[in-house]
Structure 1
């Protein structure tokens, strides 16, 4: 399988249902850190649920309605990025991200999102890329802002999760703005 270097021993690459055991081990390491924000990291609890999650994304990829990649550090899965929604008719998609605590603070999510948004905008013709995050998830909100997404608004108490109704911030970037955005490795 292919992979894209994110630098510093990190790579972005695909994952499939046959890698369920490795994915479950990663989710087990990430669960406490990501559980308050990333529902699948609470729901994937055994080999069957890991395989089902990965198969669901394999099916979405085959239908061109969703995409999933892992971030590996020195060969071990430490996080990932995805397009939870990928709608080629409206040319809109939604990014999702997660990491294990051991990989936080290295810029891996920023670099991985740059790659997948470049692909979505430049190769697939997406016009709008969205990022939804709980207002209480300050790391995610700061990352969206750092990547050049604009805050569109707040969906007040729209997401009930683990006994709490979260305000969800909607961030987005439009293709023309993404292409003009200065960043490392791009002039």
Structure 2
């Protein structure tokens, strides 16, 4: 496990990327969401591993990217914040296929024991070219993650709906100063 690796997960459109940008602005290392990178690469390359075309292929590719991200983060100092990660991708694969990669991968590749989840926030949810699912599907995914992370031994902190600055302050206060 790397206690330096901190997961920001939760509901699509709940403010994870905005929070990641704020943490980056404050000088912390941050890793963008694997799923969005997979979607962009698949669209640019004319391939079909897209969540709305082939969710299983998409999730498998996101798992690969998540493992690559963890390996690359070893060279970064201090806290490393991940916009989603391996557990999210493995959860999507299990949801799509019933494959139980989640148990194996979730215990093998550990993150900080505290995971931060953004709750459903309809007032800021906006579909886009990489987020084509509706809010109901986003809530379903969130509900799976709320159960998945504790089942893998993580302590979950659901972030309140507040300004991004206050959310970043709360995340950093929860983590303390061990790696700053």
Q: Same fold (TM over 0.5)?
A: no
Scaled by the length of structure 1, the TM-score of the pair is 0.33
Q: Which has the higher strand share?
A: 1
- Which structure has greater helix proportion? 2
